[in-house]
Amino acid sequence: MSHWATDYSWRACEEHLNQVGQFKTVIDGVGIHFLHRRSPRPDATPLLITHGWPGSVIEFAHLVDDLAEPIDTEAPAFHVVIPSLPGFGFSDKPENTGWGTEKIASAWVELMDRLGYPRFLAQGGDWGGVITTILAGRFPDHVIGIHSTFNEGPVGQTKSGLTSTDLEWVVHTQRFQKNHTAYAKVQADQPQTMGYSLVDSPVGLLTWILDKFFEWTDTKKSPFESIQRDAFLDNVSMYWFSATGASAARIYYESFGSLDPELTVDVPAAITTYPHDIAKTPRPWAQRRYRNIVHWQTPLSGGHFPSLEMPQYFLGDVRKGLAIVLNAARQ
Q: What is the pLDDT of residue 155?
A: 83
**How would residue 1 be classed by pLDDT, with cut points 50, 70 and 90?**
confident
Residues with Cβ within 8 Å of residue 263, at least 6 apart in sequence: 133, 134, 137, 138, 289
CA 104/CA 214 separation, integer angstroms: 28
CA 123/CA 125 separation, integer angstroms: 7
CA 5/CA 219 separation, integer angstroms: 25
N- to C-terminal Cα separation, the chain: 53
Range of the domain at 161: 2-330
Nearest by Cα to 245 from 207, 211, 197? 197
Mean of the pLDDT values across residues 273-298? 97
Nearest by Cα to 252 from 179, 198, 186? 186
Q: What is the CATH number of the domain that holds 123?
A: 3.40.50.1820
CA 282/CA 262 separation, integer angstroms: 18
pLDDT digit string (tens) for 35-68?
999 999 999 999 999 999 999 999 999 999 999 9
Backbone angles phi, psi at 161, to 5 degrees: 85, -5
Mean of the pLDDT values across residues 176-192? 94
pLDDT digit string (tens) for 127-165?
999 999 999 999 999 999 999 999 988 888 899 999 999
Q: Enter the pTM of the model.
A: 0.97
In DSSP terms, 56 is beta-bridged to none
Name the domain count of the chain.
1
Backbone angles phi, psi at 143, to 5 degrees: -95, 115
Task: Give 141: exposed, middle or buried? Use CB within 10 Å, 0-12, 13-18, 19+.
Answer: exposed
